[in-house]
Amino acid sequence: MLSTLVVYGVARSSNRILWISTRIVCCRRSERGVVSEFVRELPKAELHLHIEGTLEPAMLVSLSGRNHVPLRYSSVAEIEAALQFTNLQSFLDVYYEAAGTLLTRQDFFDLTFAYLQRAAADGVVHAEIFFDPQTHTERGVPFDAVIGGISDALAAGHAEFGMSSGLIMCFLRHLPAGRAMDTLEAAMPFRDQLLGVGLDSSEVGHPPGAFAGVFAAARAEGLRLVSHAGEEGPPEYVWEALDVLGAERIDHGNRALEDAALVTRLVAEQVPLTVCPFSNVKLAVVDRLEDHPLRRMIDLGLNVSINSDDPSYFGGYIGDNYVGTQVALRFSDDEMAGIARNSLRASFVPDHEKQALVANLDEFLSHRP
């Protein structure tokens, strides 16, 4: 088994609180040998990351006190004990309660910069980050406080770590599509800070097609399009995301494997699937990491990347997902490098920047022992 030590801490600089969460994943021996830190250090992109899902227990407790928002948990230990889920909805119930502690521009800055610190340590050179404005505006938090704090942190992350980034605004599919359109309209004064739009939250019973109108409006504004589909929902949701919404990437997509015609199309068009192994185990999509279909996906020729989804809830950030998945599914270093290359190529950066990111990966690999 992998053993993981989680150490939470806080450091102060002149103008911000730097939240530090260090996960030390010990190496173990597999049939392919000793797993090193090679895969953690691989230059990679993270394409499936909900910024609200990076709210660590220590920061949650602090924000609860700072903003006078009561929680049903009184300590970090109690929060950690509550992070046992049976499905997506059981997770979302905790997720939305925790997000209720985020109120100010500074809160969103602290949350986002803490993620960028961890991502930089895990070899992330580009991140396309999801945020859920409806989670906050429905509570009366101003839109500009949400996007302003996140954008400030992304700029600081670029200055400090050299990490490029983009912001993808997700609509909550359990709310009416009309509310999604209202959110898109509210976002237009901040259009230059947005890379794209997505669709997330409770999947079953909320097919993508209901959001065709708002996705068409987003496309007309030049925004890139992604959608969660095929995590708990059926393969038909993946078809809808592609054909009705016009999604360019599918977030998760595991259940596409149940439809041979869909797999054939995904392979032929090389539609990127942003797969989240630790998340799938934590939400009981698969029983064990060793049972994850990622190996089968790659063998079929699907265009997959590894991502962390909501890492503070699911037991690990992107580096942990890379290391743990390599061990569980016995991927070689070359196969893991291929997954990292997929992530860079599936990003929405301009072609010349994408070429530079891939060249940076190739340079890293050229110095491998």
Active site positions, annotated: 231
Q: Is residue 274 a contact partner of residue 15, using CB atoms and an 8 Å limit?
A: no
- Asked if 342 and 354 touch (Cβ cutoff 8 Å), the reply is no
d(CA 83, CA 368): 38
| Torsion region of 175: left, alpha or beta (phi above 0 gives left; psi -120 to 50 gives alpha) | beta
Stated as kind and residue range, the H or E segment containing 170 is strand 164-172
Output the CA torsion 124→320→251→230 (10° steps).
Answer: 170
Pairing between β-strand 29-30 and β-strand 33-34 as defined by DSSP bridges: antiparallel
DSSP state of 122: T
Give the residue from 323, 268, 247, 293 showing the smallest Cα distance to 48: 247
d(CA 95, CA 279): 13
Closest CA to 34 of 8, 2, 71: 2
Name the H helices within 221-288. 235-240, 260-269, 277-282
